[in-house]
Amino acid sequence: MSAENQLRERICELARSMFDRGLTAGSTGNISARTEDGGLLVSPTGTSFGRLDPARLSRFDARGRHIDGDRPTKEMPLHSAFYETRGRTAAVVHLHSCHAVALSALPDADAQDFLPPITPYAFMQMGRVQLLPYFRPGDPAIGDAVRGLAGKRSAVMLANHGPVVAGLDLEGACNAIEELEATARLALLLRGTTPNMLTPEQVAELVRIHDVAWDEA
């Protein structure tokens, strides 16, 4: 099996796993991955993560032209913005995961640090997660908002919509977005309590040891 066909199968396998575990529902969510020739494989518009067909994934060449497969997700501006601003990006995943969306709808959500420092794992995999304002799904302005971050974030949360994660490989992007959802769930479970959070010093240590992209925004 060629490397591209293996990638097609893996995209569908990981998407189905996330769907089966309730991380996105119906025909929501989209996923893309870089091919060896610099092109992209992208989930088609209106498709379910639980029923993606490897042969029908949208195929883009290295110049960003749609050359094969079904019509791509309407969130292509979002995916393209990450590939353009974070040069090492090899995959982008966008879900409509329940707990992350719920946390984004709360009035006290922190735009600069969307995820509270409950565990080390979100920091290790994503660094700081930026909460972006609400945009209509498919609005090209979402891509502009991501470009405005100048590549400083590997993960964003679209308010009232869902998380997006860019990764150095496909599995890494999927693992990170699952960690984002798990941390959001913990944050909701702990609301109204006074939990012991990681200290700024502990977060700084994680950033240093794991070479996490970080800034003092």
Q: Helix axis angle, 3-20 relative to 170-189, nearest 10°?
A: 10
User: 138: which 2 tokens?
Assistant: 């498919």
Residues ≥6 apart with Cβ < 8 Å to 193? none
Q: In a 3-state reduction of DSSP, which class is residue 127?
A: coil
Query: Catalytic: 83?
Result: no
Alpha helices (H) in the chain, listed in sequence order: 3-20, 76-85, 98-104, 121-126, 141-147, 170-189, 200-209
Active site residue 179: no
Among 4, 9, 13, 121, the one annotated catalytic = 121
Check 4, 9, 36, 75 and give the catalytic one: 75
Side-chain-side CA neighbours of 68 within 13 Å: the count stands at: 10
Report the catalytic residues: 75, 121
